[in-house]
Amino acid sequence: MPPRIQKLIFIVISVIFLMISLIVILFNIEDNIVFFFTPSEIIENKILNDENIRIGGLVKINSIIYNEDKSIDFIITDNKNDISVNYYGIIPDLFKEGSGVVAEGELLRKKLNANKIFAKHDENYMPEGIKKQLIETDNWQKNYK
């Protein structure tokens, strides 16, 4: 076989191998791209128990219970479905009822045993120092908080 044909066959086989590898990688990381699931996605997709996942939504009003062992129980809702969460650890300052939250942990029988909690702040949040500067320079807008 002439060297030119051998080179062409090598290139074609390499490209095919590269494409197959890329497809396999993309299929394997597809589920890991999502930052969090909502309670409705958990219930509808029937996410497997014993899985480490992130659930995001709002902390349901009147759902926070402080336990004697210093853990807390609360409910994450997307106003359609709810997931119960148990968390033991330091609670973020912005964590409160009605606020956004993402909890990461192990899902067991539709209850999340969280090992991390991320409180989300309002997109209009403005640190006091910056707020003061904006007021002083007359760039303050009323929709800032």
Taking the complete model, does pTM exceed 0.75, yes or no?
no
Which among 87, 22, 81 has a CA at the least distance from the CA of 47? 81
Looking at residue 25, its pLDDT comes to 86
Which residues form the domain of 67? 35-119
Looking at residue 138, its pLDDT comes to 64
Question: Based on the domain organization, do 15 and 71 belong to the same domain?
Answer: no
Tell me, yes or no, whether 81 lies in a domain. Answer: yes
Tell me, yes or no, whether 132 lies in a domain. Answer: no
The residues, any chain, with a CB within 8 Å of residue 57's CB and separated by 6 or more, are 38, 39, 76, 77, 78, 83, 100, 101
pLDDT along the chain (145 residues), means of 10: 89 95 83 74 73 86 92 91 92 86 88 89 59 63 51
Question: Based on the domain organization, do 25 and 43 belong to the same domain?
Answer: no
Tell me, yes or no, whether 143 lies in a domain. Answer: no
Looking at residue 116, its pLDDT comes to 92
Question: Based on the domain organization, do 29 and 40 belong to the same domain?
Answer: no
Q: What is the CATH number of the domain that holds 104?
A: 2.40.50.140
- Tokens, residue 74: 């609360």
Question: Based on the domain organization, do 56 and 85 belong to the same domain?
Answer: yes
